[in-house]
Structure 1
Amino acid sequence: MSGPLRDRLATLSPVDRWLLQAMSGVALLVFLGGISGGVGVALARAGWIDLLPEAGYRLLTLHGVGIFFYWLFLVQGAILLALAAGEGGRGLAGRALGWAGFGLILAGMALSLGAATGGTPLLYDGNPQLAAHEPGRLAAFNAGYILLGLGLIAIPAAGVATLLAAVRRVGEFSAVGFALFTWAGFLMVSGFAMIYVFAPGVLWALGLGEIPANHGTNWHIVFHNMHYLPLMATVIVWYVLMQEVVGVKSIFGARFSKLVFAAYLVFVPPTSLYHMFLEPDLPGAVRIAGSLLSLFVSVPTLTAFLIIIASLEVHARARGGRGLFGWIRMLPWREPAMAAAGFAVLNMGFGIVLAFALIQADLAPLLSDTFFVPGYFHFFTVGTVSLSFLAALALILPALTGRGLAMPGLARFTPHLTTLGLLAFGGAGVAAGYLGVPRRVIDAGYGGEAPPLWSSLMGWVAAGGLVMALALTVFALSVAGSLIGSRAAPTCSSRWDGTTPPRPGAAALVGPLGVLIIVIGMYGATTLGFETMRALPVEAVGAGHGH
């Protein structure tokens, strides 16, 4: 592996480039469709448009299925294959598997989204209890997820074959190569888990088995791993962007970076217990263990955050950066990919702070069925993961096509607007959750019977959602412009060479300070949650349950 990633991707065969472009293009289309569904739900909850409950739940299903499953995992497959091909520099070693996996996901997407357009809305977990009278629709919906699972086995297998071919030539994994190998393995495990969770529903729908009694428990486990897997992918994207856009590698060395990526395999799977805090028969000891284990789920992400921020700060100070935050101005913020990654890091801090409140065994039963969940969750799904994946595509697609982003001057401001909208959406959503606003209803005003403050907060949610959706749409269209536009890609932005030695005694202060602020925020969000919920009437506290 030598030279910038952009140069290595530009030399791939036409067949490999077509595959990566097709996967990325379809992922962007699904992303835009999912955004549309989410906007409709937000406007309906605020009372700005009238939707029948069934139509609202259908939009919610299309939003969740499109964004959480097909956008997040199809784009992961595209990025994984692109970075794996870049590691070897000689194309995809298992391109047939890549094409097969892409075809399986396309077929699965047609089934799942098609089944979600009519009949009983199944939401995104495909619970057989909701389709007791429509087994055929459930069979199609869940079969789509099974095909997605098969695709999540085939595509990473192509990435693994490509990475192993590179290792045979070079002799060892680079830090990024090892991270990609771990990521591919995690994707394949998630694919098998999806088949395990959704196959019983298909068998029941076909009359070949009993209706699954433990679907909810199995779903919690697979959801947990699939929820944190994109975060691991996000950290890998940050590593790549740090090297390719800025020109800086980790000051801690490749070996330590490999340990951090391996930590995801250690810390993430055992911490799924907190998703089961609403189970009525969950023993108290298990609840306590779940809370304690969940404290560790952010360890690898925060460690990677420290490595990246410290590496950037040390190299910036070596080039004359002054003051506690003055060095930040030296980073290439005019690059849309850099701007997106920077705001993704900021949004991750908000998400971790709020997630800490939700993993408390005493708070989870009060918050899990309230709007707190979508309020905090969008800081991860949109503000961290989706922004980072769009940043990756903004780097990868111009290299594959030779065409630049559409509206690059506007695109670099979209992460700012996305975060602004997200702060309104997420802040109002979290406040609404603390006040007992349920999350699985379309009319949050309950025909005028709900407290007036609920409607006001849902108005902020809708307004923030509109800003966020508009900014993300512009960014996604800008990235898609490199697939169909005519503007030539820039040769290369100015990059640091990453070799200037740090000044003697140069310190990296912002990373540790950021972690300290996050920890303080975690305790603050938890304390606020307990105090707010205690102050609510019993009726308000229980309002969210059962929705």
Structure 2
Amino acid sequence: MTHTPNTTNRFASLPPADRRLLKSMAAVALLALAIGIVAGLATALVRGGLLSAIPNTGYQFLTVHGVSIFFYWLFTTQAALLLGFAATERGDGLAWPHLAWLGFGLMLAGLGLSMVGSLTGTPLLYNGAPEMAIDKPRDLLFFNLGYLSLALGLMALPASAIVTLLRPRWRGQQDRLSALGFALFAWAGFLIVTGFAALYTFAPGVLWALGIGPFPASHGTRWHIVFHNMHYLPLMATVILWYVLMQALTGVKSVFGERFSKIVFSMYLIFVPPTSLYHMFLEPNLPKVVQVGGSILSLFVSVPTLTAFLIIVASLEVHARAQGTGRKGGALFGWIRLLPWRHPAMAAMGVAVLSMGLGLVFAFVLIQAQLAPLLSDTFFVPGYFHFFTLGTVSMTLLAALSVMLPAIGGRALWRPELLRWMPWLAFAGLLVFGAAGITAGYLGVPRRVMNVSYQNQAPALWHGLMLTVAIGGAIMAAALSVFAAGIAVSLLPARQLVGSAVASPGGSLTVSWGGAVVQSGLRAWVGPISIAVIVIAMYAFSAVGFELMQALPVTATGGASGH
């Protein structure tokens, strides 16, 4: 895990124009998050029967939630952090800044167009299925134009980061990219590929809506391709940010060396693209051999993430034990208490790690060809998926913003003693939401139906589970709002030195383990034990899934909406 010796100073020394760009992008990303939180809370309340709304309005809430969070919050934040860490990798600032501003402008325009398309006309959900607008092409036009603008931004903006990373080599100032530089380079490349995939997916709908192209009948297959990229790219970004933030908060570098870290990041290029087949398990004409192949390939999709997790945890563990803290750090899990939990970023990453473990367990259940047709159209999907989108990715992105924004703006992080509890409160709500949602999915509750009572013909338990989902969602929304708002305060003009963002009267919020001498006799067991627990849980919940789904009536299972 290599990075600059002082992350805060590197960000603070960026040119003013670069800092303005990063702050502007962060502000838009947090705005998209706020919109998504409000719409998501409204959707959960409607599903739980706590908010009355006609079905069309409920689907509009759901569309706004999915579009603003999944597309604009996740990807605008990724782009901002990519630019920020690329600019500070060598401390030279951004190359081709005008291209970066153009990309940001396109993404901002996309957000506006997508919100217009989501709030007016037919609610198309976040995948923009053209079949739902077959009689109203104009509704699809605005919706897809938003995605096209975002796609062009994702193709332009990362190019600035790539040139920034390669510029020292062109000038003869660097022989090779560092491990972090290589990771940022791969991240930027994936963003560009995702932009191309989005352009390929949504351009035919625009042409049809304008009357100059055929109806996009193959939209479903195209969507599977872009969705797969947008599903796993944030996980890659999460792992990269864990590398960066662990060094910023603890000073720890990988004990495995830079070359091995580069190999791990290269694994995303090898394992992620072929695994997109499992998103097509609900296609009626998918050959059996493709289903089997997709299931086998899907087993490898988490290999890069788990490997990087092992590297980070092992590096932290051996450095913590090298501090010579006696029994407190010598116990199997005792060293974990030595981490800088008083910093909100550390708390957010702790939640992210726990959420990732739970998300991987239930993702394994869903990617099996036998279970996918039974569960993919049930509430199992949002029940497990929020462990990734909120618990893992969003918490990590917010953790990174809590480090970057105070550094570039010079304003200390607002009330870190309060903010550090918000990720754990959000995690508590997530556990309620996820447990009720996954249970509902196992019992056949559909995921895209606002009212699951079916004129009082559905099991009474369904309503109780949706009510629990709404309660968990409300807790998540409240905690996440406070956490994001506290971080957003750093966008305001500075009143304190940024140093107070990482320190408090009670002592430092970070630790400094980078100078510890790591002895060869130290062992790191927590990472492997964690992986073993995840694998055991994967098989256990798969078995539960088979048993419960076999007990349901045929009409309560299956679907054709896919992911």
TM-score class, shorter-chain normalisation, is: over 0.9
CA distance in structure 2 between the aligned counterparts of 1:447 and 1:100, rounded to whole angstroms? 51
Residue aligning to 1:471: 479
AA in 2 matched with 1:521: A
CA distance in structure 1 between the aligned counterparts of 2:496 and 2:136, rounded to whole angstroms? 50
Residue 330 of structure 2 is aligned with which of 322, 327, 338?
322
8 Å CA contact retained: 1:88, 1:165: no
Residue 78 of structure 1 is aligned with which of 72, 77, 80?
80
Residues 28-73 of structure 1: CA deviation (Å, up to 9, x unaligned)? 0110110100001101111111110000000100000000001110
Residue aligning to 1:507: 523
Residue aligning to 1:92: 94
Residue aligning to 2:505: none
8 Å CA contact retained: 2:83, 2:158: yes
Q: Secondary structure at the match of 1:447?
A: coil
Residue 184 of structure 2 is aligned with which of 156, 180, 184?
180
8 Å CA contact retained: 1:84, 1:159: yes
Cα 1:546–1:13 shift into 2, 3 Å = closer
1:277 matches 2:285: no
Cα 1:66–1:520 shift into 2, 3 Å = same
1:524 matches 2:540: yes
CA distance in structure 2 between the aligned counterparts of 1:206 and 1:103, rounded to whole angstroms? 24
Cα 1:450–1:244 shift into 2, 3 Å = same
8 Å CA contact retained: 2:319, 2:513: no
Q: Secondary structure at the match of 2:383?
A: helix
For residues 73-222 of structure 1, what are the structure 2 equivalents within 5 Å?
73-168=75-170, 169-222=173-226
CA distance in structure 1 between the aligned counterparts of 2:182 and 2:8, rounded to whole angstroms? 20
Residue aligning to 1:9: 11
For residues 425-440 of structure 1, what are the structure 2 equivalents within 5 Å?
425-440=433-448
Residue 18 of structure 1 is aligned with which of 10, 20, 23?
20
1:39 matches 2:47: no
Q: Secondary structure at the match of 1:250?
A: coil
Residue aligning to 1:392: 400
AA in 2 matched with 1:110: G
CA distance in structure 1 between the aligned counterparts of 2:436 and 2:520, rounded to whole angstroms? 46
AA in 2 matched with 1:50: S
How far is 1:106 from its partner?
0.8
AA in 1 matched with 2:272: V
How far is 1:225 from its partner?
1.1
Residue 490 of structure 1 is aligned with which of 487, 492, 499?
499
Cα 1:127–1:540 shift into 2, 3 Å = closer
AA in 1 matched with 2:30: L
Q: Secondary structure at the match of 1:113?
A: helix
Q: Secondary structure at the match of 1:332?
A: coil
8 Å CA contact retained: 2:107, 2:150: yes
How far is 1:88 from its partner?
1.8
1:355 matches 2:363: yes
CA distance in structure 2 between the aligned counterparts of 1:20 and 1:134, rounded to whole angstroms? 38
TM-score, scaled relative to structure 1: 0.98
Cα 1:87–1:55 shift into 2, 3 Å = same
For structure 2, the 5+ residue unaligned runs are 503-507
CA distance in structure 2 between the aligned counterparts of 1:386 and 1:504, rounded to whole angstroms? 36
Residue aligning to 1:417: 425
For structure 1, the 5+ residue unaligned runs are none
Percent identity of equivalent pairs: 60
AA in 1 matched with 2:47: R
Cα 1:234–1:61 shift into 2, 3 Å = same
CA distance in structure 2 between the aligned counterparts of 1:395 and 1:282, rounded to whole angstroms? 46
Residue aligning to 2:307: 303
* Aligned length, in residue pairs: 546
CA distance in structure 2 between the aligned counterparts of 1:39 and 1:2, rounded to whole angstroms? 39
Residues 102-149 of structure 1: CA deviation (Å, up to 9, x unaligned)? 000111111111111111101111111111121122111111111101
8 Å CA contact retained: 1:317, 1:503: no
Q: Secondary structure at the match of 2:476?
A: helix
Residue aligning to 2:68: 66
TM-score, scaled relative to structure 2: 0.95
How far is 1:448 from its partner?
2.4
CA distance in structure 1 between the aligned counterparts of 2:443 and 2:538, rounded to whole angstroms? 19
1:224 matches 2:233: no
CA distance in structure 1 between the aligned counterparts of 2:313 and 2:337, rounded to whole angstroms? 13
CA-atom RMSD in angstroms: 1.3
CA distance in structure 1 between the aligned counterparts of 2:519 and 2:530, rounded to whole angstroms? 22
1:405 matches 2:405: no
Residue aligning to 1:49: 51
How far is 1:2 from its partner?
4.5
How far is 1:546 from its partner?
6.6
Residue aligning to 1:340: 348
8 Å CA contact retained: 1:108, 1:145: yes
8 Å CA contact retained: 2:205, 2:216: yes
8 Å CA contact retained: 2:25, 2:80: yes
Residues 302-332 of structure 1: CA deviation (Å, up to 9, x unaligned)? 0000000000000001113210100001100
CA distance in structure 2 between the aligned counterparts of 1:57 and 1:309, rounded to whole angstroms? 41
Deviates more, 1:484-493 or 1:315-324: 484-493
AA in 1 matched with 2:33: F
How far is 1:539 from its partner?
3.5
8 Å CA contact retained: 1:341, 1:387: yes
Residue aligning to 1:244: 248
How far is 1:192 from its partner?
0.8
CA distance in structure 2 between the aligned counterparts of 1:238 and 1:325, rounded to whole angstroms? 20
8 Å CA contact retained: 1:406, 1:487: no
How far is 1:385 from its partner?
0.1
CA distance in structure 2 between the aligned counterparts of 1:82 and 1:504, rounded to whole angstroms? 36
8 Å CA contact retained: 2:103, 2:152: yes
CA distance in structure 2 between the aligned counterparts of 1:467 and 1:166, rounded to whole angstroms? 47
